[in-house]
Structure 1
Amino acid sequence: MSSSRAAWCSAGRPRGAQHKEYREYNAVKAHFRRAMRRCGEQFMTELEHKLEYDSVHDSVSFWRTVNLRKRGSGADIGGGINFDGNMYRSREEITEQWTKYFKDLYTPSSYPDFDSHWEYVVGQEVEQT
């Protein structure tokens, strides 16, 4: 895949089906994505069979596998989160930006369908907690 990408880049990154490098690079990318999808599906099928077998024959292995699979999404937020075009990386900055987002979301608006009664109800709930 890297050689077809290099060829596409050296050709000036042309776009459109009339360019040979573009067609080849897209074909290689599509093949790679299909292969990755097949591998993922195969892994999940094997895991499903393993869990099915272990649930009957080896409860220790079953629960070990289940507990390892349920531990979070594994998403890496180390790269940061983008708010309004600015990248925030620390937990404090990200929390502060989410706070601003939700404050803005529930701030009275000039829209005609703004529900001030609902704002009052939510405000009362927040004060009680």
Structure 2
Amino acid sequence: MSSSRAAWCSAGRPRGAQHKEYREYKAVKAHFRRAMRRCGEQFMTELDHKLEYDSVHDSVSFWWTVNLRKRGSGADIGGGINFDGNMYRSREKITEQWAKYFKDLYTPSSSPDFDSHWEYVVRQEVKEQT
């Protein structure tokens, strides 16, 4: 796949089916994705068979495999993001919450650690940019 991508890049990364390099790169990329999908499906099938077998014949191995799979990374891709105990899933709401977070972060506070000189420097930079 890397050689077809390199050929496509060296041709100037043309777009459209009329370009040979583009067609070849997309075909190789699709073949690679199909192969990866097949490997993933095969792995999951083998894991299912192993769990089925181990659940009857080897409970230690069964629970070891289950617990290993259960731990995972803990990441919930696409699950949203939590701000102040509220879960936000839409792009607009997440963007609003990040804006609110940074606004609060850079708003002067009564904290003894607040650096008013740094606030002044940043305000001057912003004025110069606008």
Q: What TM-score comes out, normalization by structure 1 length?
A: 0.60
SS at structure 2 position matched to 1:73? coil
Gaps of 5+ in 1: none
Q: Tell me: CA distance 1:67–1:82, structure 2 relative to 1, closer, same or farther (3 Å).
A: closer
- Partner of 2:63 in structure 1? 63
Q: Which moved more, 1:119-128 or 1:37-46?
A: 119-128
Give the distance between the partners of 2:75 and 2:53, measured in 1 at CA.
29
Quote how far apart the aligned CAs of 1:121 are.
Answer: 41
Gaps of 5+ in 2: none
Q: Tell me: CA distance 1:20–1:110, structure 2 relative to 1, closer, same or farther (3 Å).
A: farther
Q: Tell me: CA distance 1:120–1:18, structure 2 relative to 1, closer, same or farther (3 Å).
A: closer
- Could you say what the CA RMSD is over the residues aligned between the two structures, in angstroms? 14.7
Q: Tell me: CA distance 1:10–1:95, structure 2 relative to 1, closer, same or farther (3 Å).
A: closer
Quote how far apart the aligned CAs of 1:67 are.
Answer: 0.1
Quote how far apart the aligned CAs of 1:15 are.
Answer: 0.2
SS at structure 1 position matched to 2:71? coil
Aligned residues: 129
Q: Which moved more, 1:84-93 or 1:112-121?
A: 112-121
Quote how far apart the aligned CAs of 1:117 are.
Answer: 42
Quote how far apart the aligned CAs of 1:96 are.
Answer: 13
In the TM superposition, what are the counterparts of 1:28-39 in structure 2 within 5 Å?
A: 28-39=28-39
Q: Which moved more, 1:78-87 or 1:40-49?
A: 78-87
Quote how far apart the aligned CAs of 1:50 are.
Answer: 0.2
In the TM superposition, what are the counterparts of 1:1-129 in structure 2 within 5 Å?
A: 1-73=1-73, 75=75, 100=100
What are the superposed Cα offsets for residues 49-93 of structure 1, whole Å, 9 maximum, x if unpaired? 000000000000000000000003365999999999999999999
- The structure number with the bigger radius of gyration is 2
Quote how far apart the aligned CAs of 1:103 are.
Answer: 11
